[in-house]
Structure 1
Amino acid sequence: MDLTTLPVIAPLLHGGAELVAATAAALSPVVGGLAAAIAVVLLTLAVRALLVPLAVLQVRAERDRRRLAPMVAELRQRYGRDAERLQRAVQELYTDEKVSPLAGCLPLLAQAPVLSLVYTLFTHASIGGTTNALLRATLAGVPLGHSLVVTLTSPLWMHAWVVVLLLVVLAIVVELARRANAHWNPAAAPDPAVPGAAVTAAIGRFAPFVTVVFAAIAPLAAALYVVTSAAWTLGERAVLRRVLR
Structure 2
Amino acid sequence: MDFFSWPPIAAVLDGAYGLVTVLSAGVEPFAGAAAGLVAVVVLTVLVRLLLVPVGVSQVRAEYHRRRIAPQLAELQRRHSGDRETLARKTMELYQREQVSPFAGMLPLFAQIPVVTLVYAVFTHPTIAGHPNGLLDQHVLGAPLGTSFVGLTGASAGVWPAMLVYLGVLALIAVVTTVSRRVLTLPQPEGSAAPGGMLRALSFLPYITVVFAAFVPLAAAVYILTSTAWTVAERWTLRRLLDPERGAGGSARATTSH
Corresponding residue for residue 255 of structure 2: none
TM, length-normalised to structure 2:
0.81
Corresponding residue for residue 175 of structure 2: 173
> Aligned to 1:37, what secondary structure does the other structure show?
helix
Q: Shift in Å at residue 105 of structure 1?
A: 4.0
Change (3 A) 1:235 1:154: farther
Q: Shift in Å at residue 53 of structure 1?
A: 1.4
| Aligned AA (2:240) | V
Contact preservation (8 Å) 2:183, 2:231: no
Change (3 A) 1:184 1:59: farther
Q: Shift in Å at residue 205 of structure 1?
A: 4.4
* Runs of at least 5 residues in structure 1 that lack an aligned partner in the other structure: 191-196
Contact preservation (8 Å) 1:144, 1:220: yes
Q: Shift in Å at residue 110 of structure 1?
A: 4.3
Change (3 A) 1:109 1:155: closer
What do the CA deviations read for 1:132-182 (whole angstroms, capped 9, x no partner)?
Answer: 221210001211112223333332221111110111000011122223343
Corresponding residue for residue 138 of structure 1: 138
Corresponding residue for residue 236 of structure 1: 233
Name the CA distance, whole Å, in 2 between partners of 1:111 and 1:219. 16
Contact preservation (8 Å) 2:40, 2:221: yes
Name the CA distance, whole Å, in 2 between partners of 1:53 and 1:8. 28
Corresponding residue for residue 101 of structure 1: 101
Contact preservation (8 Å) 2:79, 2:85: yes
Give the alignment of 1:77-96 within 5 angstroms.
77-96=77-96
Give the alignment of 1:186-201 within 5 angstroms.
187-190=193-196
Q: Shift in Å at residue 43 of structure 1?
A: 0.8
Q: Percent identity?
A: 47
CA RMSD of aligned residues (A): 2.4
Answer with 84-93 or 153-162: which moved more.
84-93
Change (3 A) 1:125 1:62: farther
Answer with 223-232 or 78-87: which moved more.
78-87
Contact preservation (8 Å) 1:135, 1:221: no
Identify the match of residue 213 of structure 2 among 212, 216, 225.
Answer: 216
Count of residues in Structure 1 that have an aligned counterpart in Structure 2: 236
Name the CA distance, whole Å, in 1 between partners of 2:211 and 2:54. 25
> Aligned to 1:72, what secondary structure does the other structure show?
helix
Name the CA distance, whole Å, in 1 between partners of 2:60 and 2:144. 37
| Aligned AA (1:132) | N
Answer with 145-154 or 180-189: which moved more.
180-189
